[in-house]
Amino acid sequence: MTGSPPVPPAPVASEDPRRVEIADRLHDVSSRIAAATARAGRPAGSVTLIAVTKTFGLDDVRRLADLGVADVGESRDQEAAAKAAELPALRWHFVGRLQRNKARSVAAYAACVHSIDRAALADALGAAAGRVRRTVDVCLQVSLDGDPQRGGAPVEALGGLADSVARCGGLRLAGLMAVPPLSWDPDRAYAELARAAGDLRHDHPDAIMLSAGMTADFEQAIVHGATHVRVGTALLGGRPPIVG
């Protein structure tokens, strides 16, 4: 070892045990994404990890950013707006249900909104984005079982909704998003989502984003073509239940 430059001291785990924990979890999730991508015969790097940071503090978002995460997801506007104001260099994804009266706020920080499920919402978001001279990527959220309670448009409505979004200034139709219905096998859910995504690309060939897969099922989603997985628990641990 003589002659080699001085090696900086290894980071001391006790300096920030939470950083070490998150680094370990991120390493595990990233390895699993890479392995699933390879197993599916897809190109390395074709799946983007969105770290879902809802309910976790800004310190955890900073730790993730330090570790190289560029895409973060949030599901409530008030929380997302506050975090995005502190860390504007990250790509903020709004993945929760969007209310029309929040469109203006969300349009100011979101790079991508994953949960557009009706034309009125697209109109409101597009108008808000136009006012601040931004273009927001949009995924149509698909309700695979047609249950309106959990958000999402039924598969039959996607074509019309896609055309509405494509006509909105301020928005770019990026693709589709879904959360598997509670009682469904995720494999079946993601197979149906992939079919809907193929249909969408027929008329909108640039809408290639497929936002699918969470902690419990992201490897299955990757098999079915997910380009973006939205992972919270596996990266940051359990969340207290949230209301609303």
SS3 224: coil
Q: Please pick, from the candidates 33, 52, 128, 189, the single residue that binds ligand PLP as defined by CB under 6 A.
A: 52
Q: Please pick, from the candidates 22, 61, 64, 96, the single residue that binds ligand PLP as defined by CB under 6 A.
A: 96
- Contact criterion met (CB below 8 Å) for 74 and 96: yes
Number of H helices, E strands in the chain: 9, 9
Site pattern 205..224 for ligand PLP (x: CB under 6 A): ---------xxx--------
Q: Which of 146/160 has CB closer to ligand PLP?
A: 146
Q: Rule CB under 6 A: is residue 179 a binding residue for ligand PLP? A: yes
Site pattern 116..155 for ligand PLP (x: CB under 6 A): ----------------------------------------
Q: Please pick, from the candidates 51, 95, 103, 139, the single residue that binds ligand PLP as defined by CB under 6 A.
A: 95
Alpha helices in the chain (DSSP H): 17-39, 58-66, 77-86, 103-109, 119-131, 158-167, 186-203, 218-223, 233-236
> How big is the site for ligand PLP, counted in residues (CB under 6 A)?
14
Q: Please pick, from the candidates 19, 25, 54, 93, the single residue that binds ligand PLP as defined by CB under 6 A.
A: 54
Q: From 192, 193, 132, 206, select the one nearest 162 (Cα to Cα).
A: 206
Which phi and psi (to 5°) does residue 107 adopt? Answer: -65, -20
Q: Which of 126/232 has CB closer to ligand PLP?
A: 232
User: Helix %, strand %, coil % for the chain, to 5?
Assistant: 45, 20, 35
- Residue tagged 């504007």 (tokens): 88
| Residues contributing to the site for ligand PLP (CB under 6 A) | 52, 54, 75, 95-96, 179, 214-216, 230-234
